[in-house]
Structure 1
Amino acid sequence: MHINDLELFIAVAKLGSFSKAAESLDTRRALVSRRIADLEKHLGAPLFIRTTRAMSLTPNGEQFLEQVEPLVNQLRNAAHVMRNDQAEVQGRVRIGLIPFTDRLLDKYIAEFVTKYPNVQLDIFMVNGGYKELARLGLDFVLDTGTLDDSGFIAKKLGTLNLKLFASPLYIDKAADIHDVTDLEHHSFIGSRSINGMVDTKLKMGDQTIEVKYNIITNELNSLYSFCLAGAGISMLPYSIAAEAIASGKLVSVLPEIESTPIDTFLVYPSRKHMTAAAKLFADTIVDMATSLIETETGYYKDAKNDTKTELKKA
């Protein structure tokens, strides 16, 4: 039983005909008639007495109207209050984003501030991830990897797999790539972890690749920029490389292989103490992540279904 059917029933009961109810609700008479018939079938009892001149409620119809009309009014009022409350949300939200996620969130942030003009987003780009929560007084942080502090609450947003990408500028001047073993002879752009360590062994699925880094950076934007410029091969999420792939500025290297899964999280001290504005924006990030993970998953699936790719100089 749908609330729209109940609203149709109330309109017919109040106006005394299918035609008048259809006109008041800007719909077709045949649709009203069919929905009322479906409602009667669902309830197992007739609601209206139909004659050639008029319609009236049956005793069952009168009883049903008396019970459902107040409920429908309450639901309408609750929805109205919710819409007004959402529109009036205000305050400041302090957000920590790891590098490059601002580019993934840009359109969602724009939509959010347009919908909630009284909310101010105070955004910090943090290399330290969730460890910056207390120091910067953040409402929450978008982070990846392993979380080892039980003092915070973490909502898992999804899982990403990294793939190898390079610019045609690099591919054209580098040695051919036929399989994983060829990567030992190529230049890589690597990232330094928060603790300062650099792992020279890339874990790609069930394979471990020993690589040589010509450039090491602790910032994902720089890693991406150097890769675009042709400095070497980088391991990136598809969501970051997608625009450059579409424009031909980056190509996938051995697309059939990928990294071990990387979890993404929304980390916060306590949702209980979040402001209404912070909760709303957190929900926006959850929606964004759902869409992003679906896009990533589709790309990974397509890559696995493709035949093995070899990169050769023209």
Structure 2
Amino acid sequence: MNINDLELFILVAEQGSFAKAAESLNTRRALVSRRIAELEKQLGAPLFTRTTRAMSLTPSGELYLEQISPLLKQLKNAAMVFKNRYNEVQGSIRVGLLPFVDKILDHKIASFVHTYPQVKLDIEVVSGGYKDISRLELDLVIDINHIQDNQFVAKKLLSFERKIYASPGYLEKSSVIENLNDLQYQSLLGFRGTSGLVEEKWRFQQNTISANHKVVCSDYNSLYNLCLGGAGITLLPQVIAQEAVENNQLINVLPELSAGFTDLTLIYPVDHAFSSAAKVFVEHLTRQKS
């Protein structure tokens, strides 16, 4: 059985169409259809239900997709590890991370470390975001800023959602919170971005409130720890607060509200002479899915 045919089957299932799959591969629809038919013949079962209007997976096709998808992913990862170890990418990379970024990118960074064992990561915790690149002689920084500077390249890695959190201990002592306006009578913990600006207003889907902060912090780790200790209510990335919520250490206050999504961005100077190690680091982070 040809692994390329299995990859084609997954692509057709994702695209939901022979024509779309053929277009993405820059080939003919008839060729895609024939290869899938040959695969079905080898398996002895139809994978797709075909009509003049639509195409969908059969129960056998759904089961087959569920079985082979993780196997193909493992094969690809194994091939990548072997290839990279054979090529022996070496060197060191100086990376700047905001204090909370390790909690969001831990799996991606760990994956890079295992994939490129000859590369040394020198990680510096930064407070000034991408502005610290020159001062600290970094190769790149992972920031939350939307930069408007043609001297830098910015590549989006992922987005994280922010919601409202407080500790059970704080909520036991506070007045009842039934709606957004009730937050104005609470101890609010605010965030100061790397630009130096404090988030004076908390903006949600349909409403905005002016936040009279009792405490302001320049990193989400501090906000998380202060919130965990019962100092007040704050906006946190959901990915940071999730474990504490599951352990009943934090509560998502007014869970129907969202402060929206913020992009995590990889930033480096346009004219920076990247080493091979830095290049594969950028490729790895921008390629890997969360």
TM range (shorter): 0.5 to 0.7
SS in 2 for 1:221: helix
| Structure 2 partner of 1:109 | 109
Return the offset for 1:225. Answer: 0.4
TM-score, normalised to structure 1's length? 0.63
Q: Deviations over 1:10-52 (max 9, x none)?
A: xxxxxxxxxxxxxxxxxxxxxxxxx9x939x9xxxxxxxxxxx
List runs of 5+ in structure 2 lacking aligned partners.
6-34, 42-78
Instruction: Provide the rounded CA distance (Å) in 2 between the counterparts of 1:244 and 1:227.
Output: 11
Return the offset for 1:271. Answer: 8.8
Return the offset for 1:217. Answer: 1.6
| Structure 2 partner of 1:278 | 278
Return the offset for 1:123. Answer: 0.4
Counterpart AA for 1:168: P
| Structure 2 partner of 1:69 | none
Are 2:151 and 2:270, in contact at CA under 8 Å, matched by a contact in 1? no
SS in 2 for 1:161: strand
Counterpart AA for 1:156: K
List runs of 5+ in structure 1 lacking aligned partners.
6-34, 42-78, 292-314
Instruction: Provide the rounded CA distance (Å) in 2 between the counterparts of 1:268 and 1:82.
Output: 28
Return the offset for 1:143. Answer: 1.1
> Do the aligned partners of residues 249 and 86 (structure 1) sit closer, same or farther apart at CA in structure 2, a change above 3 Å counting?
farther
> Do the aligned partners of residues 38 and 217 (structure 1) sit closer, same or farther apart at CA in structure 2, a change above 3 Å counting?
closer
Are 1:271 and 1:279, in contact at CA under 8 Å, matched by a contact in 2? no
| Structure 2 partner of 1:171 | 171
Instruction: Provide the rounded CA distance (Å) in 2 between the counterparts of 1:271 and 1:264.
Output: 22
User: What is the aligned residue count?
Assistant: 222
Instruction: Provide the rounded CA distance (Å) in 2 between the counterparts of 1:178 and 1:80.
Output: 52
Instruction: Provide the rounded CA distance (Å) in 1 between the counterparts of 2:150 and 2:144.
Output: 16
| Structure 1 partner of 2:214 | 214
Instruction: Provide the rounded CA distance (Å) in 2 between the counterparts of 1:86 and 1:127.
Output: 37
Give 1 or 2 for the bigger CA radius of gyration. Answer: 1
Return the offset for 1:258. Answer: 1.2
> Do the aligned partners of residues 207 and 145 (structure 1) sit closer, same or farther apart at CA in structure 2, a change above 3 Å counting?
farther
| Structure 2 partner of 1:97 | 97
Are 1:87 and 1:116, in contact at CA under 8 Å, matched by a contact in 2? no
Map 1:229-240; keep pairs closer than 5 Å.
Answer: 229-240=229-240
> Do the aligned partners of residues 178 and 272 (structure 1) sit closer, same or farther apart at CA in structure 2, a change above 3 Å counting?
same
- Kindly, what percent of the aligned residue pairs are identical? 44
Return the offset for 1:184. Answer: 0.9
SS in 2 for 1:104: helix
Return the offset for 1:158. Answer: 3.1
| Structure 2 partner of 1:228 | 228
> Do the aligned partners of residues 247 and 188 (structure 1) sit closer, same or farther apart at CA in structure 2, a change above 3 Å counting?
same
| Structure 2 partner of 1:60 | none
Q: Deviations over 1:256-301 (max 9, x none)?
A: 111143222111124984222112222332355x31xxxxxxxxxx
